[in-house]
Amino acid sequence: MEELQILARDPQAWAALATLIVMEVVLGIDNLIFISILTNKLPEEKRFRARRIGIGLAVFLRLALLGGVAFIVQLTAPLFSLFGHGFSWRDLILIGGGLFLIYKATSEIRDHVAADHEDKEPSVGGAAGVTFVGVIGQILILDLVFSLDSIITAVGMTDHIPIMVIAVVVAVGLMLAAADGLARFIGNNPTIVMLALSFLLMIGMTLIADGMGMHVPKGYIYAAMAFSGLVEGLNMLARRAQSKRPLRKRPR
């Protein structure tokens, strides 16, 4: 309690907290997009529960990892060297998570393209063979990868566990607040689904590159995502405006 009071009077602690919350929210966007796309494949009555469980697992994993910070730090120690790079457990987990993310995004893109080819609406709901447990299992795998990356980044920014815990709780609370709206928006706009899947492909490649020792600044990644989202938003506005225009009669 005394440590919390000291931190509350420290302006640097508040600055670190604000920075860490922003970072956690930005890192959580990837997780939230993945959860939204997966849960939208479930029947309507199960989606809300699946999103809550998926995000709940994310906060549980983050807090559990924070409780074992000393162990987490050891995950960055090299296990073996290959091609001049020392691979750690963190690197292997990031590479595995990136491969899984690329596989899932590619599979979803293939399903949507096949649906278009068959003249069916490329809806994200009601896919055959999708089960509640299967969706939660896939969310859990990516929760682990994103949580590990998030906590290791947080450890590099501050030494104070209370600040990390508060930042994680606030960020996950914002994820909970945005989850349903984002899922509905993605579900109602098929072009947004394809854009989100392309984001996941890019994030998967970034995770693999990071695991291979080729660090890509996340600012570039999120700037590209923001620009692509802006362009798609303008396209949506243009399509909406065009649909409201009266049809012109062709001259005879």
Instruction: Check whether 204 has a pLDDT greater than 70.
Output: yes
pLDDT for 5:
60
For residue 235, give the DSSP letter.
H
Burial class (CB in 10 A: 0-12, 13-18, 19+), 141: middle
The Cα 170–Cα 162 span in angstroms is 12
Whether 13 and 7 have beta carbons less than 8 Å apart is answered as: yes
pLDDT for 199:
80
This prediction's pTM: 0.67
Instruction: Check whether 137 has a pLDDT greater than 60.
Output: yes
pLDDT for 4:
55
Instruction: Check whether 128 has a pLDDT greater than 60.
Output: no
Tokens 């399509």 sit on residue? 239
Count the neighbouring beta carbons within 10 Å of the beta carbon of residue 55: 22
**pLDDT bucket at 50, cuts 50 / 70 / 90:** confident
**18-32, 99-113, 117-131, 157-171 — most confident range:** 99-113
In the chain, count H helices and then E strands.
Answer: 9, 2
Count the neighbouring beta carbons within 10 Å of the beta carbon of residue 250: 5
233-249: per-residue pLDDT in tens? 888 788 777 777 665 55
Amino acid at site 185: F
**pLDDT bucket at 157, cuts 50 / 70 / 90:** low
Residues composing the chain: 252
Whether 207 and 94 have beta carbons less than 8 Å apart is answered as: yes
